[in-house]
Homo-oligomer: A and B are copies of this chain.
Amino acid sequence: MSSLRPPPPLLYEPIVVAALREDLGRAGDQTTESVVPVEAAAGAHLIARRPGRVAGLAVAARAFTLLDPSVQVDLRSQDGDDVGAGAVLAVVSGPARPILSAERVALNLLGRLSGIATLTRDVVASVAGTGARVACTRKTTPGLRLLEKYAVRVGGGSNHRFGLDDAVLIKDNHVAVAGGVAEAVRRARAGVGHLVKIEVEVTDLAQVEEALAAGAEVILLDNMSLEEMREAVLLVGGRVVTEASGGITPENAAAVAATGVGVLSLGWLTHSAPALDVALDVVVS
């Protein structure tokens, strides 16, 4: 499936290189370089220690080959696969030094991204049958938004805005300063290009009506009760996309989805997903 490919290497490789430099520091891997002869070879299994959904496998594998292009990585799994504990995700082979030195960076990337994909998958599963999309937010790790948003897609989720510039989201403060939903939408429509969508955050049914009338293209139901959400969804009647946000957790996602809302957005997916436990089992020869 096309959505399970990571973004172009041109976009994510700087992240991997920076992570390697952060770990190697000024002096490199002092342990490996003093203990392991340069001619030593190694084979290694990249494994999942816990069950989960794989995400970022090719990204993580680049840690080895960016450190030393002669390392071979044979992927045995691919992003989007659901694997069990002990599954071999990739086989790494080549000179021992770069394999040992790049291990932690590869695992940090793979663990974090797979952790996000796994949690997303579970939330998506919990809303199955409702037709609701599960989306992430801008509550991502500084510097990793590109990859974390990708991991959400691997988990079956959907992406909200990538930043402040690719869509308009009018919140309560914007409404307050503009003097109302209608005026805020009008200003936004006048100020942005015709390819920028406008979403408005509302907190009650009156605002839903106002937002619809003003031409909002997406309506964000902010911290509403389940009952209010149901009414709002009915009121909108499919004319525009509805989104629920605020206080949604993996636990209550199903109940929210049952209101008929079109999209659920959870910061949880990216800011609090535990890492998937992954490891590298190395055999040096």
Q: Are A275 and B275 neighbours in the complex by a CB distance under 8 Å?
A: no
Q: Are A141 and B173 neighbours in the complex by a CB distance under 8 Å?
A: no
Query: Is A178 an interface residue when CB atoms closer than 8 A count as contact?
Result: yes
* Stretch with Cβ within 8 A of B (4 or more), from A99-107, A121-129, A204-212: A99-107
Query: Is A74 an interface residue when CB atoms closer than 8 A count as contact?
Result: no
**Whole-angstrom CA separation of A100 from B173 in the bound complex:** 9
- Place the interface of chain A in its size category: 35 or more
Instruction: State the Cβ distance, A4 to closest chain B Cβ, in Å.
Output: 9
Query: Is A92 an interface residue when CB atoms closer than 8 A count as contact?
Result: no
**Whole-angstrom CA separation of A161 from B35 in the bound complex:** 18
**Whole-angstrom CA separation of A37 from B2 in the bound complex:** 6
- For A230, what are the chain B residues with a Cβ–Cβ distance below 8 Å? none
Among A169-203, those with CB < 8 Å from B are 169-171, 173-174, 176-178, 184, 187-188, 190-197, 199
Q: Are A67 and B177 neighbours in the complex by a CB distance under 8 Å?
A: no
Instruction: State the Cβ distance, A200 to closest chain B Cβ, in Å.
Output: 10
Most chain B CB atoms below 10 A, which of A138, A159, A177: A177
CB < 8 Å neighbour of A25 from B26, B40, B68: B26
- For A100, what are the chain B residues with a Cβ–Cβ distance below 8 Å? 173-174
- For A282, what are the chain B residues with a Cβ–Cβ distance below 8 Å? 173
Q: Are B272 and A164 neighbours in the complex by a CB distance under 8 Å?
A: no
- For A271, what are the chain B residues with a Cβ–Cβ distance below 8 Å? 108, 111-112, 274-275
CB < 8 Å neighbour of A170 from B31, B146, B195: B31
- Contacts from A to B (Cβ < 8 Å): 2-3, 5, 7-8, 10-11, 15-38, 40, 42, 66-68, 96, 98, 100-101, 104-105, 107-109, 111-112, 115, 133, 135, 138-146, 149, 158-171, 173-174, 176-178, 184, 187-188, 190-197, 199, 218, 241, 243, 262-263, 267, 271-272, 274-275, 282-284
